[in-house]
Homo-oligomer: A and B are copies of this chain.
Amino acid sequence: MHKTLEEIRKLPEGIIKAQKAFEDFTAKYDFKLPREILFTGCGSSHFLSQLLAMATTHLGGRGVALPCSEILYSRKYYPVGNPQLLVAISRSGETTEALRVLDETDLPKLGIAAYDSNLLAKSDYALLVDTPEESVVMTHSFPAFLFAFQQLLNYSFEMPLYDAERLSELSMEVLKNEEYIRGIVEEFDFRNVIFLGSGILYPVALEAALKMKEMAIFWSEAYPTFEVRHGFKSVADEGTLVVLLVDEPFDWHEKLTKEFKGQGARVLTVGKENTGADYFVKIPGPSIPESTALYLSVIQLLSYYKAVKRGFNPDSPRFLSKVVKW
């Protein structure tokens, strides 16, 4: 079996490990997150940093996320504000650009990685989430990092903690859709895919599009949900799958679904209820942001099966390496 599939399926234990990482962190450091935080990462870790920034802002803080290279070379164009902490994310903890940002930033630093690494060594506070992966592509460690940080946010901002055991069980329930998702890919040989999400589900859509590129070397796009009507939707036709990530749909989501079907596209809705789509995967349990991690397995499985269908080996995509260096 592909390592990638094994690792996607590890989310239930990933959430438990994330809880452990959070507990180890609070046992080790007498530290609470400040209100204003600058987040950074590259690729998937950048989308993760967008998620963490949004979770921070949602709780009344101010989270800003920038890709490492934009901090290094174009920072003057971004409203960074006056952060009291830099949070840097890298699965390997060895990404050149992330290490450089740490070296060049004069702020307290919190690093998040899956390995004892230079990133953690250079950080004042190390959040080590024990979810190593053999595949090139980041899968279950992404929602695990997210959950560990969400707990740290709840703890720091004096909000009730999430129930890790329960979320882990819910993630098992979501993973039961594997055959259904595989079936969509088998039945509909789509030529491109558009992921849509609003708010904290927008970076999930971005990460979904990236997974699809990495694993399936495939035409994939992502937009803030209703932005797609402003020009982007021209590329959607009978060869297109639209994946609508939505926690609490309202009438515009149904209209949008109908509009895409009118263009010949098929729609997969992932969320609390169907919007009149051709396909539907239910995300059980609490609302976003708590349930955000659960959306990730669905889009990872979709990319995985598309890769297999297209004859690619998702474990080692062409032109990519596990750690990006300069």
Contact = CB atoms under 8 A, between A and B. Distances in A.
Interface string A67-79: 1011001101111
Given A74-B198, A234-B318, 5 more contacts: A63-B79, A64-B79, A77-B200, A137-B231, A255-B326
Interface string A225-250: 11101111111100000000000000
A224 interface: yes
A263 B319 contact: yes
B217 A234 contact: yes
Given A210-B231, A234-B318, A79 B53 contact: yes
A43 interface: yes
Interface of A: 42-46, 53-54, 57-58, 62-64, 67, 69-70, 73-74, 76-79, 81, 97, 137, 192, 198-200, 202, 210, 213-214, 217-219, 221, 224-227, 229-236, 252, 255, 263, 317-320, 324, 326
Contact of A230 (B44, B232, B255): B44
A235 B326 CA distance: 20
Given A44-B230, A214-B234, A73 B198 contact: yes
Contacts of A46: 227, 230
